[in-house]
Structures are given as C-alpha cells and as structure tokens.
Structure 1
Amino acid sequence: MPLRKPLLASLAVIAAGLALLGGLSILQSAERNAEPATFPEGDPKRGAYLARMSGCIGCHTDAENGGAPLAGGTAIETRFGSFVPPNVTQHPNAGIGDWTVADFARAVRQGTSPDGDPYYPAFPYAMYTRMSDQDVADLWAAFQTVAPAEGGRDGNDLAFPFSIREGLHVWRALHFEPARFEPDPARSEAWNRGAYIVTGPGHCGACHTPRGLLGGRDDDRFLEGGSDGPGGAKVPAITPQALKKAGWAHEDLVTALRTGLTPEGDSLGSGMGEVVRDGTAWLTDADLKAIATYLLEPRNPNGG
C-alpha cells in the first residue's frame, strides 16, 4: 500500500500531461487550417534557387554515398539523438509524391505532416515560416520536377523522452510562432533582402544561435554562436560586433559565402563548408552582398 499515493500522483501527472497535449493538438489543428485555400502559380526555376538557398539539396541528399537527389540525407547528430532528413522526391510512398501544395505549405511553414503530426525542429520550419505564399508555390513547382526515388526512410534515433513525438506539441507551444517576413521600411532594400534570407530560408540562426534545454533557440542571443551545432560542433558568433572584431569586411563575407575561403586563406569548417558547397555558392552576387549587409549592420537582439 505505500506505493499507492506515489502511483496515484504519477497517474495524475500523466493525465494532466495528456490533457495539455490534447489541448495543444486542437490548437495545432487550427494552425493547419491557417494555410490559404489556393496558392499562386509556381515558378520551378525560382523554386530551384530557393531550394539551394534553403539548404534542401545538401540536407536531403546523401551525396557522400551516391544517393539520388533529395532521396534522403545523412543523419544529423545532436545531443537529443540523430535525425535523418527524409526522402522528398516525387515517390508516392517513400517521398512526397502524393502531397498537395497545401500539404507542402503546412510542412514547410508550420512543421506538420499531412496527417497533422508535428515534425522535429531539426527541420527548420521555425525559420521557413517566414516564406511567402509565392515562395512556397515556387518551391513546390521545383520539387514536382524531382524524379521519384526509393529509400531515405531509415528514421530517427532519439533518446527518451525526445523519442515521444507527442511531446513536440509542448515544444511548439514554447518555441514556435508562425509569422511571415515583414520588411523594415527604415532599412535599405539590400538590408531587408539579407534579413529575409538570414532569418528565413537561409535559417542561419538554426546553428548560429544558442539553444536552451529543450532545443529552442534563445532569440535574445540571436547569432551569438554556441557549442551545440550539428555533431556537437562549436559554432561561431556572426553578430555585427563579433564579425567586425574578427576583422571581417563586407567583401570578405561575400567571398567566403561564394568560395568557402576566409580572409586568411583558410577553408571554412566542414559544416559551413557544406553550406557553401550546396547552398550559398549558388546564390547571386546581389544576394550574397545583401547577406553581408545585414550581418554587418547593427540590429535588434531578436534579428530585426
């Protein structure tokens, strides 16, 4: 009998947790219905460019092992376990071939599957949420041109309790707020373009912003770096103050993002090297200059 009270207390906690999750699930359903009924016509060429900017190619392609484009990437190691980027080809079973553009929009901007299940935030939907309807339509048009491929569904390997997907409802309530990008009228066109790329599809803050106990970004320390990058790698600060202190100039940043070479002639680290190879090296000079403009100009702590 001495175990009766602790057991009842534990059951009460579990019941309360399930009630909370149930309530959050209802809220999440409302989020799913927030996407527009129709989207503009997509431009696959612009979508392919956005896919490079967003890191889709590098993340969802296992290039080292000869994987088909977007047929699933290599595992991303974190302190919570490993996340395997899934197959996003047009395969109807292994990929997203049976999705609609609305399904795609909910995944990209709200982090939920067509069935309403939450995605782990290793998928940076908390930053992709800033994309416009036209961005989503263009990406969707580009993804529809990707040939179907098998594989890429090996699954995640996460430690308990992070392996319980329902717990993501709590994470989302604490750390996710859907919001489109809003330009700052007091800033230049280049600064706003850079802000859109860095805080949106480029998702620089996913690695360069410190994260808390549950993996939520500390936006009061936006781009201040940290020791919790992929594979436990240390990630440097890229605030205006940090970059200028380290001697980075505008053209240095543009060159590094295009070639992967630092002002001293060194190569950027393996993680950032992959970002350059699969992403920023493909961007236009205008966009690279916009990123540099945004990174080097003082801004608010939350990235504004």
Structure 2
Amino acid sequence: MYTLLRLLAFVIVAGLATAWFLTRPDRLPDTALDGVTGDATRGEQVFYAGGCASCHAAPGAQDAAKLVLAGGRAFASDFGTFYAPNISPSAQGIGDWTAMDLANAMIRGVSPSGAHYYPAFPYTSYARATPQDVADLHAFLTTLPASDNQAPPHEVGFPFNIRRALGGWKLLFLKDDWVLTDPADDQVARGRYLVEALGHCAECHTARNALGGVDRTAWLGGAPNPSGEGRIPNITPAGLDWSAGDIAEYLSSGFTPEFDVAGGEMADVIANTAQLTDADRAAIAAYLKAVPPVP
C-alpha cells in the first residue's frame, strides 16, 4: 500500500509539473526581430489594417481623438467583461515597450512581464503577422499622443481568471497556419494576410466553440453577436453575394450596393479600411470571393 501511495504521489507531481511546463508563456526567440527596423510610415498602414483604434481609442472618441489610444472600452463575453488597455506611448500604456515586447504580445499573446493575455486581444489572428509589420506598427505607435488613462481591470470570475490556464487554451487554439491554404494568386494571398492576420475579421465573423476557440470549419460564416443583439453576418460567398467591386467600395465608403450605409461596430471598421490603399481593399475583396462558402 505504501508503495502504491508513493507511486500515485509521483504520478500526480509529475502530471502537475508537466502541466506547469506546457502552460508556460511561450515567448518568441530573442532573434525574432534581428535585422528588422521599424518604419512609422509603413506602420500607419499596419495600424489601420489592424483596426487598433477601434478597440483602444477611448469610448466615443471621434476624429483626431481616435489616435489617443487611452483604452477603457468594454467587451462583454460569455467568460466575463474585458477592457481594452491603454496602448498609448505613456507610462500607463506601452511607452516603455520595445518592438520585441509588442511582437510577443501580438504573436504569442504574452505580456512584457511574462503573463498570458486573454484572447479578447486577437493574438490568435495576429500570430500570422510578419515581424516587419509588428516593428513598423511599434514605430508608428510611438508617434501617437500619450494618455495617462488607466483602464479598468477585467471582470473575469473563476476559473477563467486563472491566467496560467490560458497556456492550455493556447495549445488548442493559438496557431499560425493559414485557413485558406492555396491562394489563387498574389492578390488573394495579400487579401488572406489582411483578413486572416492583421484585420482579424474571423474574430467577429466566425462562430466559436464552448471553449471560445474559433470554429475553422465555419470560417467567416457568421456568429452570434456577443452583445446579444442580432447576428454578425456570414461574409463567405454563401452569405455575401456582392461582387468584388461592391465589397471594395463598401470598405472604402461604407455604402452597400443597396445604398445602405455601415453602422454599429462595422462603421469603425470602415473608418479603418477607408485608410487602406485601393489595392489592399481589392485584395480583401478577392479573398472574400475565394474562401469556401459556409451555408
């Protein structure tokens, strides 16, 4: 009996040690940005492609105030309410972050202090971002106005407030492979990068499973609105019958082919995509026409 108890204790300790190892925050290699120099001009386009102001500007901010990334916007979910942090170049924001700190946050979901970020921050999409784009974005963020605002802490109950457990969640859902694996041409490949990586469109437009992971079998096929009001639409060819030109125009002006206009959170998205080049909006449209239809 004593031997059996010792064996059981060993198995438990070994299991806990293995779980602790597997759920550790996994940073990028120290060489990830070797030879990469950020450019703020290019970073501005990354900023708009990534929709940073849509989440991190203060609630209700308009015009130039949207470049003050003071945070504070609330995002309700089945797991709790998350608040966008201050990412302005201040001591309360990311003023002391390096480009590598930003890369670890965006690509690996790890804070400078080594903690897991909650996936309300869409690092599951940003994981596909290139190191150059992250360095460029960092360079641009340092040029923006600083804010001393302190965003509220997340309102997350047990067991979701156990950050270490997010390491297990990442093992299941943090992947950097592409969903559309065989782009038809360079334009579709560029659109794939803008939609699947920087634009993180699937974070809203794809349904999630019980653990909060995106259901890749229903990629961009629509999802319940976390606010509980209505449904976020299916933007695959089965749900969106617009031409590529119609889609590109919508991303520029916000006007649909029926002369309706984007509203709600999509209005914020259009404010960002309107800043992209015509070529990038056309690439997004080409990608949306190429993804498999989801009935």
TM-score, length-normalised on structure 1?
A: 0.84
Matches of 1:171 and 1:285, distance apart in 2: 37
The offset of 1:147, in angstroms, is 2.9
**1:77 counterpart = 2:70:** no
- 1:1-304 → structure 2 map (5 Å cutoff): 18-19=16-17, 21-26=19-24, 28-29=25-26, 31-33=27-29, 36=32, 38-64=34-60, 69-92=68-91, 94-179=92-177, 184=182, 187-227=184-224, 229-233=225-229, 234-244=231-241, 248-277=242-271, 279-299=272-292
Residue 262 of structure 2 aligns to a residue whose secondary structure is coil
The offset of 1:111, in angstroms, is 0.6
CA deviation map 1:159-185 (0-9, x unaligned): 33222222211211111124589985x
Q: Which residue of 2 aligns with 1:4?
A: none
Q: Which moved more, 1:291-300 or 1:128-137?
A: 291-300
- Contact kept in structure 2, 1:75 and 1:83, CA below 8 Å: yes
Matches of 2:248 and 2:15, distance apart in 1: 48
Matches of 2:54 and 2:268, distance apart in 1: 7
Residue 139 of structure 2 aligns to a residue whose secondary structure is helix
CA deviation map 1:51-90 (0-9, x unaligned): 1110111210015167671111411121222111111111
- Contact kept in structure 2, 1:75 and 1:84, CA below 8 Å: yes
Report % sequence identity: 39
Alignment gaps of 5+ in structure 1: 1-10
Residue 157 of structure 1 aligns to a residue whose secondary structure is coil
Q: State the AA in 1 paired with 2:119.
A: P
Matches of 2:74 and 2:291, distance apart in 1: 35
Q: State the AA in 2 paired with 1:236.
A: P
The offset of 1:297, in angstroms, is 2.0
Alignment gaps of 5+ in structure 2: 1-8
The Cα RMSD (Å) is 2.8
Matches of 2:162 and 2:57, distance apart in 1: 26
Distance change >3 Å, CA 114–CA 35, structure 1 → 2: farther
- Contact kept in structure 1, 2:23 and 2:165, CA below 8 Å: no
TM-score, length-normalised on structure 2?
A: 0.86
